[in-house]
């Protein structure tokens, strides 16, 4: 390479790194379509099976692989295409591939089916469990374990047959169902030594925070004890300071939170291939922030997204969206019926209250005015 060109190339690289690391930059996200079936308007998410469709990667040629004579798998070609997108991107732009995985079925999912959604929302979900099962910070059921095993086997198959680029870093929600799902999915895979499965536990990846006890996380000490190989991000509070049992996070507030964790990851992690284990509501919110079409995931399912992030000057930052949490009422005994509507539409036989049915330690019932962070990865 010509000396001068090399200087320019290094300068461009430095510029792109510093743009990415400058926390004052406003990050604008978009989903790059044309690569995955999940981005096509005619793909039906309720029947789509990621394991039957190579994670949804569309069979096609890319500018980066046109005319290449080497026999490459579709995922190898896609990797080359992503590399070229990044190499040719302007200094303020970066492309990453996110694998967003939903946890396997939890005891709260099973209980919602058992009691029916109205009775679940209006009463049962506000308890820690019934006589036989616990659903506060629910663990995964036998079916949930099976679903995570399916994800594990499919990743191994993709590694063997497709030579897929494996995640270079891993993140998970702090709720037990995700900690467990990530462990079953990625432990024991044939991973390169360079990219081991050492997930970072991220507060902001948790499920939309409602008054349901399944959204109440356990302590940092509990997570450390049960998942000693996981890294917990810096500044993670010992106790759950967000769930209060009285107010819930509205969708706009959740989207503010989703953008915040995306910003943290895009500012501090230079990996291109990233795995995230989270929840249906939180993944739906993340997809909204990424400008992805609505695509709901079954328990245990995974969706890849090719994300383009542009780091804009702070002056381009829109005014902040105020965060509002709203009170949510429920019944003190199982309701006869309820309707899906504002305020949960609970029609109680007994009293309707906003006071929690379980013991609550966080008494900030107004909800946060901003989300905690910035967090840093512990590695």
Ligand X SMILES: *[C@@H]1O[C@H](CO)[C@@H](O)[C@H](O)[C@H]1NC(C)=O
Candidate residues 130, 321, 333, 337; the one interacting with ligand X per rule CB under 6 A: 130
Q: Which stretch binds ligand X (CB under 6 A): 29-37, 128-136, 231-239, 349-357?
A: 128-136
3-state secondary structure of 69: coil
Is 207 among the residues known to form the active site? Answer: yes
Q: How many residues bind ligand X (CB under 6 A)?
A: 11
Residue number with CB closer to ligand X (76 or 296): 296
Candidate residues 19, 111, 283, 305; the one interacting with ligand X per rule CB under 6 A: 111
Is 212 among the residues known to form the active site? Answer: no
Options 103, 152, 212, 330, the catalytic residue:
103
Q: How far is the CB of 105 from ligand X (least distance, A)?
A: 10
Residues of span 299-358 touching ligand X by CB under 6 A:
none
Residue number with CB closer to ligand X (137 or 249): 137
131 binds ligand X per the rule CB under 6 A: yes
Judge whether 191 and 207 are in contact, CB under 8 Å: no
Alpha helices in 107-229 (DSSP H): 107-115, 117-122, 142-157, 176-186, 220-226
Phi/psi of residue 252, nearest 5 degrees: -65, -40
d(CA 59, CA 95): 20
d(CA 53, CA 154): 11
User: From residue 96, how far is each of 167, 193, 256, 337 by CA, in Å?
Assistant: 11, 21, 20, 46
Residue number with CB closer to ligand X (119 or 276): 119
153 binds ligand X per the rule CB under 6 A: no
Candidate residues 5, 24, 44, 66; the one interacting with ligand X per rule CB under 6 A: 44
Residue number with CB closer to ligand X (142 or 339): 142
110 binds ligand X per the rule CB under 6 A: yes
Site string for ligand X, 271-310 (x = CB under 6 A): ----------------------------------------
Neighbouring C-alpha atoms within 13 Å toward the C-beta of 78: 27
Candidate residues 64, 89, 133, 312; the one interacting with ligand X per rule CB under 6 A: 133
41 binds ligand X per the rule CB under 6 A: no
Q: How far is the CB of 43 from ligand X (least distance, A)?
A: 10
Closest listed residue to residue 177, CA positions, set 209, 216, 210: 216
262 binds ligand X per the rule CB under 6 A: no
47 binds ligand X per the rule CB under 6 A: yes
Place of tokens 């663990």: 139
Radius of gyration for the alpha carbons in the chain, expressed in angstroms and rounded: 22
- Number of residues written out for the chain: 379
DSSP 8-state code for residue 283: H
Q: How far is the CB of 294 from ligand X (least distance, A)?
A: 11
Q: How far is the CB of 234 from ligand X (least distance, A)?
A: 36
Options 183, 207, 249, 282, the catalytic residue:
207
Looking at the DSSP assignment, which residues form a beta bridge with residue 204? Answer: none
132 binds ligand X per the rule CB under 6 A: yes
Q: Where is 266: in which H helix or E strand?
A: helix 251-268
Phi/psi of residue 232, nearest 5 degrees: -100, 130
What's the start-to-end Cα distance of the chain, in Å? Answer: 35
d(CA 223, CA 220): 5
Binding site for ligand X (CB under 6 A): 44, 46-47, 107, 110-111, 114, 130-133
Catalytic residues: 103, 207
């Amino acid at each position: 390479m010509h000396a001068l060109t090399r200087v320019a190339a290094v300068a461009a690289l430095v510029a792109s790194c510093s743009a990415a690391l400058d926390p004052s930059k406003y990050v604008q996200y978009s989903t790059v379509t044309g690569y995955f079936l999940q981005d096509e308007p005619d793909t039906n998410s309720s029947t789509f099976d990621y394991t039957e469709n190579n994670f949804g990667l569309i069979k096609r040629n890319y500018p980066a692989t046109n005319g290449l004579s080497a026999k490459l798998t579709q995922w190898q070609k896609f990797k080359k295409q992503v590399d070229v997108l990044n190499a040719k991107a302007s200094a303020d732009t970066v492309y990453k591939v996110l694998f967003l995985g939903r946890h396997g079925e939890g005891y709260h999912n099973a209980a919602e089916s058992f009691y029916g959604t109205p009775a679940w929302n209006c009463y049962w979900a506000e308890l820690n469990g019934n006589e036989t099962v616990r659903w506060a910070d629910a663990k995964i059921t036998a079916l949930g374990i099976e679903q995570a095993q399916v994800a594990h086997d499919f990743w191994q198959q993709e590694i063997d047959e497709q030579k897929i680029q494996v995640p270079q870093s891993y993140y998970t929600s702090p709720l037990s169902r995700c900690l467990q799902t990530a462990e079953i999915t990625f432990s024991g895979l044939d991973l390169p030594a360079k990219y081991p499965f050492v997930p970072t536990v991220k507060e902001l990846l948790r499920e939309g925070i409602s008054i349901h006890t399944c959204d109440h996380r356990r302590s940092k000490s509990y997570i450390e004890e049960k998942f000693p190989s996981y890294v917990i991000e810096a500044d993670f509070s010992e106790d759950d300071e967000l769930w209060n049992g009285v107010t819930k996070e509205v969708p706009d507030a959740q989207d503010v939170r989703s953008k915040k964790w995306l910003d943290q990851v895009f500012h501090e992690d230079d990996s291109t291939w990233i795995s995230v284990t989270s929840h249906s509501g939180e993944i739906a919110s993340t997809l909204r922030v990424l400008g992805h079409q609505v695509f709901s995931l079954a328990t245990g399912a995974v969706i890849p997204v090719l994300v383009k992030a542009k780091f804009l000057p702070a002056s381009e930052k829109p005014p902040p969206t105020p965060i509002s949490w709203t009170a949510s009422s429920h019944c003190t005994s199982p309701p006869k019926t309820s309707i899906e509507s504002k305020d949960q539409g609970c029609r109680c036989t007994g009293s309707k209250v906003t006071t929690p049915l379980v013991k609550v330690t966080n008494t900030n019932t107004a909800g946060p005015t901003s989300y905690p962070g910035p967090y840093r990865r512990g590695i």
